[in-house]
Amino acid sequence: MSRRFAAVDVIRTKRDGGALSGEQIDWVVAAYTRGEVAEEQMSALAMAILLRGMDRAEVSRWTRAMIESGSRLDFSSLPRPAVDKHSTGGVGDKVTLPLAPLVAACGAAVPQLSGRGLGHTGGTLDKMEAIAGWRASLELAEVDAQLRDVGAVVCAATADLAPADRKLYALRDVTGTVESVPLIASSIMSKKIAEGTRALVLDVKVGSGAFMKDPALARELATTMVALGTDAGVETRALLTDMSTPLGRTAGNALEVRESVEVLAGGGPADLVELTVVLAREMLDAVGLDAVDPADALRDGRAMDVWRRMVAAQGGDPDAPLPVARHTHEVRAEADGVLTGLDALAVGVAAWRLGAGRARREEAVQAGAGVELHAVRGERVRAGQPLLTLHTDTPERFGWALEALAGGVVVAGPTTGRPAAAPALVLERITA
């Protein structure tokens, strides 16, 4: 029988800068999940962790305790190696959609258990649900069968996967303790490790449109998550990638699906194609399939074939027309010059306000809402040229979205503004 502790003693230990023992961590996570530790007590402990931090052993043990609060998946019996990808979220980040079928087309199994959007970053499930008939909720037997038959699945996580994290995440959201790197890392990695894949590639976004805006904090988060995966026996590596400007040319749901299909068809924006291929190479290398070039699978149509089968396997119609918003509004350049500013956060908030995102988890989203970009940062533009198109079913939202864009879209005069090279997408690679 595991030892029982007093919650106040655990709180005091961390409050005073001490390291929690493995037994203390196991007990407090399990007891909180069962409802034996009060919300206000876990709030106090979370704040102590935010202020005092955790060492590697503590974070690893905390993550393991959250994993053990629920069930674990096991994909070791699949005929192909299983590998997963996780992004910390950004504006226009639709990479999962082309990436999962691309990696599957190259010989790996990709169980992509995803979530819905909240705030200015879009959710993968919201995007996929823009496809007629597609369903997010699958039984584990369906996931296994689809991985064997198709090689890729994008679906909602099961309710019993790290339930301690789901409860603690909701508490952190309302107690000002979201920003703790140990708690962020353990939240992400408890679910990813519990998914049971052999390898994991992390895409940690950095910049105005990312959760982590400070490169040093993003690097700390990435390093911590790589260590957690390594400690759990999962081959884990991370890329720090730029999110100062939106990824691709769209931010929304159906808009991003359309752009993802363009990538699978061999086209699409250069930055989106580049990041998709870079992440695919990392995933394939992590499971020993580095001899396969994913760029070939985009060119010859194999990735598109897997996409169509993946969508159809979950009830979707890959040939159905995607939803289109009933109203649009163009934002045009007021003068000749260079587009020197295209802020990711401004575009993300505008898309959210147009109906592409939600402020509360129970809210619905508009499938056709979002922002379409007609120029990229560093590009020369002419007076009257469309820079953005706003899409929504509720035109009264246009003014609210335009407020979000104020100051985020900057055209400098032809004498002061100079075309700039696109920022590097991959800023750093972090491995164990």
Paired residues of 112 in beta bridges: 154
Contact 65, 25 (CB under 8 A): yes
| Nearest of 243, 263, 269, 265 to residue 375 by alpha carbon | 269
What would you measure as the largest C-alpha separation in the chain, in angstroms?
75
Paired residues of 264 in beta bridges: none
| Nearest of 196, 199, 225 to residue 72 by alpha carbon | 196
Q: Backbone phi, then psi, for 88, in 5-degree steps?
A: -80, 0
Query: Measured in Å, how far apart are the chain's first and last C-alpha atoms?
Result: 35
- Residue 120 annotated to the active site: no
Task: Give the active site residue among 87, 180, 186, 187.
Answer: 187
Task: Give the active site residue among 167, 172, 205, 249.
Answer: 172
Task: Give the active site residue among 84, 93, 165, 271.
Answer: 165
- Cα distances (Å, whole numbers) of residue 146 to 81, 270, 297: 14, 30, 20
- Residue 76 annotated to the active site: no
- Residue 77 annotated to the active site: no
SS3 at position 315: coil
Contact 201, 82 (CB under 8 A): no
Sign, CA torsion 366/91/250/158: negative
**CA–CA gap between residue 261 and residue 306 (Å, rounded):** 12
**E-only strand ranges, 222-278:** 235-242, 250-252
Buried b (16+ CB within 10 A) or exposed e, 38-72: eeebbbbbbbbbbebebeeebbbbbbbbbbbbbbe
Q: Backbone phi, then psi, for 114, in 5-degree steps?
A: -120, 175
CB atoms within 10 A of CB 137: 11
Distance of CA 85 to the CA centre of its chain: 9
Active site residues: 86, 165, 172, 187, 191
